[in-house]
Amino acid sequence: MARNKFPEITRKRIMESAVRLFTLKGWNNVTIQDIVDDVGDITRGAFYHHFKSISDIIQSVTKEMMIQQDVFNNIDDLENLNALDRLRQGIKYSILQSIKNGDQSTISREMISAEFVFSRITEGMRVVAPGIHKVIEEGNKDGSIQVAYPKQTAEIFTMLFDIWMNPGIFHVSREEFVQKIEHIALMFERIGMPIVNEELKNVFLELFDNVQEQ
């Protein structure tokens, strides 16, 4: 077989196939052979050239999701806003982009597993949290944020907003989701980062309603 001149294209096709199968069958019910067969014109050897195992491709898929959704390393352009408002705009932009692109619909109930959640948390810590940490540090300097432990706050922020507040992962009633919004608003206000204002509450509800329509 001729050597593949475009390995990045093959890798992308494998990941797209994996996401499609994970969505249909769930993380735990997809084999390497399933992915090879779905791609159609690759061998198991070609799969192993790009990924070591199913766990490896799950991590890669999750990493790609986090990179696509990460706006917190790219919100320095909002020069006229203080750090707290930049974080608010980052959350708002991330949610509205998810709604626009249909990102939340890719997280089907079948895809939710302990491995998926663990991978999403660890990639969030690695990809997203450092950018949030940087902005929180700036907020402590400009006075818009007053937290004692910026790094730990950034990590909790990442886990709660990406996992706990994600209606594509936790399926609750609208009433309970409103309570979650109020709780997270109160919690961050108490630690010195009153990030959830009325505008963000409405954006979260827009996300919830969008997921329910999928």
Rounded mean pLDDT of 148-173? 91
Claim to verify: residue 99 and residue 167 sit in the same structural domain: yes
Claim to verify: residue 125 and residue 150 sit in the same structural domain: yes
Indicate whether 150 pLDDT > 80. yes
Q: What percent of the chain has pLDDT over 70?
A: 83
Q: Is residue 188 included in any domain, yes or no?
A: yes
Q: Is residue 195 included in any domain, yes or no?
A: yes
pLDDT of residue 1: 42
pLDDT of residue 106: 46
Q: Is residue 57 included in any domain, yes or no?
A: no
Rounded mean pLDDT of 124-137? 89
What is the span of the domain harbouring residue 83?
64-213
pLDDT of residue 2: 43
pLDDT of residue 105: 43
- Separation between Cα atoms, residue 187 and residue 178, nearest integer Å: 14
Claim to verify: residue 27 and residue 78 sit in the same structural domain: no
The 8-class DSSP code of residue 2 comes to: P
Claim to verify: residue 109 and residue 33 sit in the same structural domain: no
Helix (H) or strand (E) holding 189: helix 174-190
- Separation between Cα atoms, residue 77 and residue 23, nearest integer Å: 36
* Angle 112-106-153 from CA coordinates, rounded to 5°: 65
Measure the CA dihedral 146/190/73/126, to 10°.
Answer: 110
Q: Is residue 56 included in any domain, yes or no?
A: no
Claim to verify: residue 79 and residue 129 sit in the same structural domain: yes
Burial class (CB in 10 A: 0-12, 13-18, 19+), 173: exposed
Which of the pair, 73 or 205, is modelled with greater confidence?
Answer: 205
pLDDT of residue 93: 83
Q: Is residue 140 included in any domain, yes or no?
A: yes
Claim to verify: residue 40 and residue 76 sit in the same structural domain: no
CATH number for the domain that contains residue 87:
1.10.357
Claim to verify: residue 75 and residue 117 sit in the same structural domain: yes
Claim to verify: residue 40 and residue 84 sit in the same structural domain: no
CATH number for the domain that contains residue 16:
1.10.10.60
Claim to verify: residue 83 and residue 154 sit in the same structural domain: yes
pLDDT of residue 57: 84
In sequence order, the 6+-apart residues with CB closer than 8 A to the CB of 138 are 83
Joined together, the tokens standing for residue 192 give 């010195």
pLDDT digits (tens, 9 = 90+) for 62-114: 777 666 655 555 555 556 789 999 899 888 888 887 777 665 444 555 556 67
pLDDT digits (tens, 9 = 90+) for 26-61: 777 889 999 999 999 889 999 999 999 888 887 787
Claim to verify: residue 70 and residue 176 sit in the same structural domain: yes
Determine which of 10-14, 49-53, 77-81, 135-139 has the lowest per-residue pLDDT on average: 77-81
pLDDT of residue 195: 95
Q: Is residue 2 included in any domain, yes or no?
A: no
Claim to verify: residue 102 and residue 174 sit in the same structural domain: yes
Q: Is residue 1 included in any domain, yes or no?
A: no
Indicate whether 137 pLDDT > 80. yes
pLDDT of residue 104: 47
The domain total for the chain is 2
What is the DSSP code string of 156-181?
HHHHIIIIIT-TTTS---HHHHHHHH
Which region, left, alpha or beta, applies to residue 172 given φ > 0 means left and ψ of -120 to 50 means alpha? Answer: beta
Claim to verify: residue 14 and residue 112 sit in the same structural domain: no
pTM beyond 0.75: the answer is: no
Q: Is residue 142 included in any domain, yes or no?
A: yes
